[in-house]
Amino acid sequence: MKIKAVLMDVDNTLLDFGICARDSMRGVFADWGVPYREEMFPVFWEINGKLWEEIEEGHLTKEELYQIRWKLIFERLGIEGYDPVRFDDGFRKYIAESAAPVEGAYEILEYLSPKYILCVASNASPARQIKRLTKANMLQYFEHLFTSEEIGHPKPEKAFFDACLKTLDGITAAETVVIGDSLTADIAGGAGCGMKTIWYNHTHEAVPEKLRADYIVNTLLEIKDIL
């Protein structure tokens, strides 16, 4: 394949959202004086993951997620007496400051950036991702930063990827590859637009039968064998 542009997801592809979220959870719990226990994190992970799936399916907006995320987590944990919306504000402030890299992230960015037009493609706010990628020393590798908030449509909507191609003037969908950890947002989204796709299976989950990814990697460095 003759690839010219690479669209890279950020969370759980370049930055380890698990580490970022755990640290952020510890931080906001301490600020609010809520005792934090490690076994609470899987509850956050499960509920947050389900809500993000609903966003990707178009059943929920991010604003709605901010309203209900901690309400649902507190209910499950039996924690009472805290305003879940303000708690989410506090949590997101920590997330905005978090920038733990995924293993191999710098090496793969060093490898890809001279060879391809490297772009961020993220369902997040541009300010937040610029801040985090700057903190992680990754921003300099990217020529374009595509975010759902700026484009007005999230991945996996075709409108998101069409907007990327519009900016990448003259580059076709077939000359573009999407790299990401989400089978819905990144893989189904990119494939639906005619782009090539590389699924970063960071949790080493069983590969679903209907997988639409052109390639699967278990580590970021395996991308070197493809691109």
Residue numbers of the site for Mg ion (CB under 5 A)?
Answer: 9, 11-12, 181-182
How far separated are the first and last CA of the chain, in Å rounded? 9
Q: How far is the CB of 180 from Mg ion (least distance, A)?
A: 5
Q: How far is the CB of 80 from Mg ion (least distance, A)?
A: 32
Kindly list the strands in the beta sheet with 117-122, ordered across the sheet, starting from the edge strand earlier in the chain. 144-147, 117-122, 5-8, 176-180, 196-200, 215-217
Strand pairing partners for 119? 7, 144
Which residue, among 138, 192, 190, 110, has the nearest Cα to 10 in the 3D structure?
138
Q: How far is the CB of 14 from Mg ion (least distance, A)?
A: 9
Which of 12, 48 has the CB closer to Mg ion? 12
CB atoms within 10 A of CB 226: 15
Residue 38 C-beta-side C-alpha neighbours within 13 Å: 1
Which of 9, 88 has the CB closer to Mg ion? 9
Which of 148, 176 has the CB closer to Mg ion? 148
Which of 87, 182 has the CB closer to Mg ion? 182
Q: How far is the CB of 133 from Mg ion (least distance, A)?
A: 14
